[in-house]
A and B are shown apart, each in its own frame.
Chain A
Amino acid sequence: MSQVDQPALGRYQLSQLDFLEAEAIFIMREVAAEFDRPVLLFSGGKDSIVMLRLAEKAFWPGAVPFPVMHVDTGHNFPEVMEFRDRRLGEAGVRLIVASVQEQIDAGKVTEPTGRWASRNRLQTAALLEAIEEHGFDAAFGGARRDEEKARAKERIFSFRDEFGQWDPKVQRPELWNVYNTRTERGEHIRVFPLSNWTELDIWGYIAREQLELPNIYLSHERRVFERDGILLADNPYVTRGPDEEVFETTVRYRTVGDMTCTGAVRSTATELDDIIAEIAATRITERGQTRADDRSSEAAMEDRKREGYF
């Protein structure tokens, strides 16, 4: 990234990325020390990739002392699933899959239908059931406060009641780096070590640490169609309208999520430096450009979080 007029850092100053890394590592160790059964939520996306790297660093040369859980909608990009299995295999961490498909098959949740159908919201039920089943008392998420206005209000240690619900009005005050980790059985805490990171920090860190990514983040030719200004991949899980024609174009993904609601962006960026330059210059937020599900109402994210979403 071309930055002009960089100030020289003094001898005992940390750079922005080193500061954020140190904070995240401290948070991860705090969780490992104080909770009995933590788990790291992992989607295979860029934030998850950074989280896994931070976890490896926090406990090095020891192993990551908690398993990783993927909430699998069954509608993921195949490239991401391939990456997930390979990367977690290398890391030597245990993978737990919370499957939305199994929940549908068991009749616990109902598959949405119609043109706007997406399983995104169904992830909440699968997540909460898995947390309960495994008795997890802390779940790391890769959410950042810069992503969305409701997230900007959430604590780093976000208390969830026995129903997994977030109540923004009764959040625990969070002072200095002293985190209150106490829960009763059945309750848990969502922990967000990347709270203070921005999208650009994530990309800067991926570049610095030379972290491998699923290839859908880099530009490639893909068959897409346009819906409500968002470029969705032509895929078997979405019902296209007669006016939604498929065409081939050069795109990359800014976020990784369910194929039915995660949009691609037009881009020719094939290197990390190109991506960083594009993100630094963009005039549209990550979620605004790529997440169809945030558009359903002004408080869509808050409402989902209240129900127990990430």
Chain B
Amino acid sequence: MRSDILRLATAGSVDDGKSTLIGRLLYDSKSILEDQLDAVERSSQDRGEEQTNLALLTDGLRAEREQGITIDVAYRYFATPRRTFIIADTPGHVQYTRNMVTGASTSDLAVILVDARKGLQEQSRRHAFLTTLLQVRHLVLAINKMDLVDYSQERFEEIKEEFTDFASKLDVGDLTFIPISALNGDNVVDTSMNMAWYEGPSLLHHLENVHIASDRNLVDVRFPVQYVVRPQKSADPELHDYRGYAGQVAGGVLKAGDDVMHLPSGLTSRIAKIVTADGEVAEAFPPMAVTLLLEDDLDISRGDLICRPHNKPAVARDIDAMVSWMAEAKALTPGSKLLVKHTTRTAKVLVRDILYRLDVNSLHRDEDAEHLELNEIGRVTLRTAHPLFVDEYKKNRLTGGFILIDEGTNQTVGAGMVVGAE
């Protein structure tokens, strides 16, 4: 089991064939097993549907089955000999923007489905914008239902051109266009004989081969301290003074012997050892979960950060960020007091100003906006009660992303992406 994992999000409206596509990927990779398929066939028949409804595989909740819509993100798993895949199957409706944001936050790649007959819709643009906002580095525009446009190269090129035009306004790292028919399987797993003009890979081939290892930040060392390991085993004198700083590497490559700096104190030390339960390791990189032992006895606790002395994140209380608002009942307004959880640190936060609300369909900025409602996205300034150690979200998703929590309801009400800080 030496393969790696690719996390992907799928987007597209209900009728664009998303469920069919996922169904086919799962089916052709043997990830739908007979009893699941039997259950879906039975339910489809019971409902009087003519064809087996593959959406019933992914719509796992009673309410989803009743209403025939996808309510929440579902995670699906499949593997080929080359790679393992985690699919975040996200609903397409605008009222589920927060679910798209949720699914995209952990994805390396997004597949956006477009119906070849209808071309780009408002939703396609919105999905493309949201995935790029969340810094999903690889985007695939899967132009589906090619069978219904006679596998027309001209139609494919038209949509491709239109989208390329739109994408020039977005921060897209890597963009791939694939003409497919999810229903018939054209260019999904195997290359289609029906589109000899298309010289690119099938969707699965692309997913298996897209290079994601370099997407992580391996330059700027960031180690948020998560847990201090202090074994209290009186039987073992060697452990009496043991103080290990456990955490998951959020950026850069740490090596034993490296000079490091502790934030917020600014004190420096050196990494004595990097340890795991399986022994010492020479290097640690994202997303390894390791424990650092330092040469000096510093007072370090959860919420602090270890970095390199000449490469620090911003130590900031004033934060400028894009926020996706997720609360049903309450709007985000200047003056709101909330909690922010950023890496392993939680602090009180005051919303100072809403700079603008972004129309996720037109990308128009409304600078007169006074609040953000559910599923709206805007740029806001925040002031935290304690400094956070932040990077621009563009530079590092883990040290640039945060959640906002309502202290009254304990609900997660916002997702933030740092634009700037001081």
Contact = CB atoms under 8 A, between A and B. Distances in A.
Contacts of B267: none
Contacts of B105: 175-176
B213 A172 contact: no
A241 interface: no
B341 A61 contact: no
A22 B289 contact: yes
Contact of B231 (A63, A151, A173, A201): A63
B230 A25 contact: no
Interface size class of B (residues with CB under 8 A): 35 or more
Contact of A29 (B36, B74, B246, B401): B246
A196 B77 contact: yes
A148 B61 CA distance: 11
Contact of B74 (A59, A153, A178): A153
Contacts, number: 210
Contact of A175 (B4, B231, B415): B415
Interface string A149-168: 11111000000000000001
A153 B60 contact: yes
A96 interface: no
A33 B83 contact: no
A6 B227 contact: no
A215 interface: no
A228 interface: no
Interface string B383-422: 0000000000000011001110100001110010000000
A30 B81 CA distance: 33
Contacts of A252: none
A15 B4 contact: yes
A17 B233 CA distance: 30
Contact of B36 (A195, A285, A302): A285
A226 interface: no
- Chain A, interface size category, equals 35 or more
A207 B239 CA distance: 30
Given A22-B248, A30-B226, A1 B33 contact: no
Interface stretch (B95-103, B117-125, B311-319, B349-357): B95-103
Contacts of A16: 1-5, 84
Interface string B23-60: 00000000001111001000100000000000001111
A13 B218 contact: no
Contacts of B82: 5-7
B62 A6 contact: no
Contact of A19 (B5, B62, B244): B5
B242 interface: yes
Contacts of B287: 14, 19, 22-23, 26, 177
Residue from A177, A195, A298 with most neighbouring chain B CB atoms (10 Å): A177
Interface string A275-310: 000000011110011000000001100110000000
Contacts of B213: 10, 12-13
A242 interface: no
Contacts of A32: 227
Contact of A152 (B74, B81, B415): B74
Contacts of B43: 298
B282 to A, nearest CB: 11
Given A16-B3, A59-B229, A204-B1, A153 B341 contact: no
A56 interface: yes
27 contacts: A6-B82, A7-B4, A9-B2, A9-B4, A18-B288, A26-B248, A29-B226, A56-B277, A58-B289, A60-B229, A62-B231, A149-B74, A150-B61, A168-B71, A169-B63, A169-B71, A171-B72, A172-B412, A175-B106, A176-B106, A176-B398, A182-B410, A200-B79, A283-B34, A289-B35, A298-B43, A302-B62
For the complex of A and B, the 10 pairs showing the least CB-CB separation, nearest first, are: A149-B60, A288-B35, A60-B277, A57-B277, A62-B231, A25-B289, A182-B410, A175-B105, A22-B289, A29-B227
